[in-house]
Structure 1
Amino acid sequence: MKIRTIYKLFLGLVLSFTATSCEDFLDVNADPNNPSYIPVENRIIGAITMSNGASQWRASREITAVVQYAASGLRASGAETWNFSASNFFWQNAYTWAIPNCVDLVVQGQEEGSPHFAGVGRTLEALNFGMLTDQFGRIPVTSAYDGVSQVNLTPSFDEQELVYQLVIEKLDEAIAFFNASENAKGLNQAGGDIMYQGDVNKWRRFAYSLKARYLNHLSKKSNYDPQAILAAVENGFNADNMDAEFPYLEGGQATEANPWSNVGYGGFTSPTSPRYFSYTQFFVDLLKTLPVTNSAYTDPRIGIIMNPAPADGEFRGLIPGEGVPGGREGNGPFFNGDDYGRVTGGFYSRPDSPFPFMTYSELKFIEAEARLRSGDNGGALAAYEEGVRANMRKLGVPADEIDAFWQAVLDDGVNAHFNDLTTGLSHIMRQKYITQVFNPETWVDMRRMDFSQDIYGPSLRQPSNLNPLFGPGEWMRAMIYEGNEMVRNGDNVGDNSPEVRLKTPLWWDTAN
């Protein structure tokens, strides 16, 4: 299979880098016996792969339990009870592997007269910086690796307001690169565009879609601009099969399989290392009730996402922080892990399940929120409906079941619900949660909504055995900086104590 050959080629390139320390990896002194030049057409796979596996997967793994997608089955496990230390990998991986691959693609694409490659690099670079700032707040951007200057091992940290300006600027620059008519090489000349196979239009629409995402994050700020968001949406994804997603493989090496699967490199869902082996009861409840009224209705996607319990055919999940055995009060004791909605084996966790950076469904929910906030209730409802239907089509739900679900939503009063901001947002955010499984973007939404039960329903509660730093009603707002950065660059990191980092809201998470 051609794509597997590309993966093996790229793995060799990665190993040549990762055999050394972070400093050596970014050393600008070239070894004449090991030339660093790689043709631009062979670099694109590195930027895509590292943005996924080294960056987004790590970001996802660190917050999946925080937003209550999944639980470990171990009582009081660290992530699901918000007991975090500085031993995270997202930060190090993003700055050591993902961002340098993206930046080099930008620099070399421009040097070689192939601006479309530069557009890919800028798009993914913006995505990486966006994911980083959304978990940490202040991050290095202006003093980060630029592909030209000597590497700065003690970079200064930019305030998040500036970071957001720079992310939007990078996306605008990417769009300009994609609009260039003269290109020396096609994006998929060497088969390295494993996401869009050289389709520049889809890459351009991905950049516009990301722009809409990051503009929409500013819903608490006075400069929130629904019309700017909708302008980006207009040029973003406009149909099924446009999702920006990483194509994992089945039957290959562990590193080629989805890391949430039972054979993926993450290994955290295997029976011998069950970091997150069950979906939570909160997630199950979202799939068994309708928004706002919380009327009982089983979403047709539930059996596609997870398996029912062999004991009684019911769908149930774990309560974060309680572990197994147990279960929800009234369900009785279920000691077999299979009696909970195991993470492995469902739509999002098969070996070949793609891992999206961003989807058409997400963009429609962004559009729905922007229209609702601007007073266009009818347009918001139409965008919301398309977001729901698009995700159901993606998961393979039969058309008659999609129609039946939507009729139930109509019968439950959705038209009236979209005449109110809170109840309209409840529809949008609950459905967006269901469609964004494992994506770190969900933590952004839940913080923007202040973890409101009016939005997410009565099942959203603080975990059991909670980190004692948190009092009633307090939710985790940011991540601790990675330990190596603290050791090497502590003056710029500042106070990295859990009581400050975990509880202090980011810039966009405060109103002005």
Structure 2
Amino acid sequence: MFVMSVLVFQSCQDLTELNENPNGVEPSTVDPNLLISTVLTEYGQSVVDNGFGNVAGVMQHLEKDSWSSAFNNYDWEEEEWSGYYSMLRTNKLAYERAVEEGMEFHQGVCLVMRAMIFGRITDFWGDAPYTYALNAEDGGTDDILPPFDSQETIYKGIIDELATAASLLSKESTEYSNVSAEADVFYGGDATKWMKLANSLALRFYMRLSAKLPDYAEAGVKKMLAESLISSVDEGCMMSYIGSSDDDSWPSNTEYDSSSSNFKRYKPCTTLLYRLNELNDPRLGTWFNPVEIPIVVSSLYAPTEDTVVDDVRYITPEYLAANSMMIFDESTFKQAVEDGYTLVDTNSVYVGLPPSVSSYEPYDYNLNPNPTQGGGNVHVSYLSDLFKDAENEYLLARIFPYSEVCFLKAEAAYYGWGGVAEDSYDAGVEASLEEWGVDDDFSSYIANDGVAFDGTLDQIMEQKWIASFTNASEAWFDWRRTGLPDLQTGPSPLRDAIPLRFYYGSDEKENNATNYLAAIENLETTSYSSSDDNDSAWSKMWLLQGTDEPW
């Protein structure tokens, strides 16, 4: 189905651009099910591409020890949004065909996906073409070279579209025609689950506006809390991988990479790893492997200064001092690197890679005996073996898990907008553990110091940040508007602050220059963005202007 969907997707791109494709499917007769399948699979993969990619480095879930500058240090290039607009073109054709055929289920699904994709575009870049986007065939100047809508217009527009979608999807599934369970790779043709996703997305976007438009957000959140939302792990919006080729497999898989080079590049970031360790979090062992050879500072085997005995590497204190080495400490490592010290991590079970340590190559970290690009490191933990698979029950595109709904409700309750914060917080923690197969540990985990609810927003957002592992984009969007968790850069980032947005792509600059230049005037520069002018990853989009967040 994935391969067929990609082929149909490419055909539809050709039809849009050339108006004729003798080898493709006529747009006037194409089945909306095939088009929808394309949109869902493409979008699902994009969630992982970002949430397990560079944004995972931004949110300090992961670091890379090779080819790592963009991942670890925010050394980003311009980011094109053409893939998202391609999805939207396919989605538009599916919607138009569904209207022609009177297929309300498909109309509702297309509106949900339109809102989700446009939401992702404005979340990443800021202002973007919306009102006049996808209308090039109409021939007007604004249709061919669309102006950028404000974020306010986009967020409010997609919230309205989600309300329409929820209404279209409010019938029993048996009342809809021509629904293909196989083509619906999210929910198998279940209209009720799609309706709950539409309402949950509206809750997400209302909460996105909580700092910028608090009155509007409060009214919307209260309205959505009275609607049917995703209410169990099984109702969460997830997409499985097929695993039949590298293109439809989890990105770190070793089944189609015999060298395992890609898998070896991913390392846990110390920020997440050591917080999980402090909390005695059961997800720790699910996500990461223990270090193969720990390092111990000891004179046990002196006068040998550096030796491996029984899979433990021993170095003497004198060796440490003579070679300008310092034991890794989360609170002091940044200054230690700036002072010229080489870090040595002596954690006996799990060892992470600190954020943005580029005074030396990250594959050199922790006295790696084989310091080569993609060569691995026996002194730093890897991802767990489940991330070597092409597919398994936990390697999912986590598009909208139930745990996120719970944490959104906990945050709303914290603001006094309805509900009980502790109940929703506990439900979110339990849901995340269940989503990763360790929910048997919930009762003991929720009683741990630092996990038992203390009534603070910091704790709600910290657990939501943890739960967003492999979907770090949502954690990024939350961090921007709340400043939580309180993440600090490492010693060698491109700028001494975490970025806020993507740079607009060169395609837009070159082909829609007038509207691009007008759009970047709406960005607010900060002390970190001045060398980029307005279009900077460190400039504030409308959503953040005047909110004092994250700085």
Q: CA RMSD, aligned part only?
A: 2.9
> Is it true that 1:317 corresponds to 2:317 in the alignment?
no
Q: CA deviation at 1:186?
A: 3.8
User: 2:155 — aligned with what?
Assistant: 164
The 8 Å contact of residues 281 and 316 in structure 1, kept in 2 or not, is answered as: yes
Mapped partners of 1:339, 1:124: distance in 2: 44
Matches of 1:145 and 1:375, distance apart in 2: 37
| Structure number with larger C-alpha Rg | 2
Give identity over the alignment, percent.
21
Q: Deviations over 1:159-203 (max 9, x none)?
A: 1111111110111121122125796624226x2112211110001
Indicate which of 432, 447, 464 corresponds to 2:491: 464
Aligned residue identity for 2:4: L
Instruction: Give the structure 2 partner of residue 104 of structure 1.
Output: 93
| Equivalent-residue separation in structure 2 for 1:311 and 1:232 (angstroms) | 51
**Counterparts of 2:68 and 2:38 in 1: how far apart (Å)?**
37
Report whether the alignment pairs 1:236 with 2:229: yes
Secondary structure in structure 2 of the residue aligned to 1:127: helix
Q: Give the CA deviation at 1:136.
A: 0.4
Unaligned ranges ≥5, structure 1: 1-5, 19-23, 290-296, 419-423
Unaligned runs of 5+ in 2: 295-347, 371-375, 522-530
Residue 402, structure 1, aligned to residue 425, structure 2? no
Equivalent residue in structure 1 for 2:121, among 100, 123, 132: 132
1:259·1:351 contact (CA, 8 Å) conserved in 2? no
- Name the residue aligned to 1:431: 463
Paired residue for 1:179?
A: 170
Is this contact kept in 1: 2:289–2:384, CA < 8 A? Answer: no
| Number of the residue aligned with 1:351 | 391
TM-aligned CA distance change 1:249 to 1:207, over 3 Å: same
Q: 1:292 maps to which residue?
A: none
- 1:144 match: secondary structure: coil
- In the aligned structure 1, how far is the partner of 2:160 from the partner of 2:72? 35
- C-alpha separation between the residues in 2 aligned to 1:93 and 1:68? 26
- Counterpart amino acid of residue 12 in structure 1: L
Secondary structure of the structure 2 residue equivalent to 1:246: strand
Matches within 5 A, 1:6-85: 6-17=1-12, 24=14, 26-27=16-17, 29-31=19-21, 34=24, 35-36=26-27, 37-53=29-45, 55-60=46-51, 61-74=53-66, 77-85=69-77
**Shift, 1:99, TM fit:** 1.1
> Does structure 1 residue 198 correspond to structure 2 residue 185?
no
Q: Is the 8 A contact 2:253 2:263 kept in 1?
A: no
Instruction: From the superposition, tell whether residues 242 and 180 of structure 1 become closer, same or farther in structure 2 (CA, over 3 Å).
Output: closer
Normalization by structure 1: what TM-score? Answer: 0.82
Instruction: Give the match's secondary structure for 2:512.
Output: helix
Aligned partners of 1:13, 1:407: CA distance in 2, in Å? 51
Preserved CA contact (<8 Å) 2:135 2:144: no
Q: What's the counterpart of residue 386 of structure 1?
A: 427
What is the DSSP-based 3-state SS (H/G/I as helix, E as strand, rest coil) of the residue aligned with 1:220? coil
After superposition, the Cα gap between the structure-2 partners of 1:499 and 1:321, relative to the gap in structure 1 and judged at 3 Å, is farther
Q: Distance in 1 between matches of 2:5 and 2:240?
A: 15
Match of 1:363 among 378, 396, 405: 405
Amino acid at match of 1:395: W
What TM-score, normalized to structure 2? 0.77
Check 1:262–1:170 CA distance in 2 against 1; reply closer, same or farther (3 A cut).
farther
Rate the CA distance shift 1:69–1:173 in 2: closer, same or farther, 3 A.
same
Q: 1:349 to 1:365 in 2, by over 3 A?
A: farther
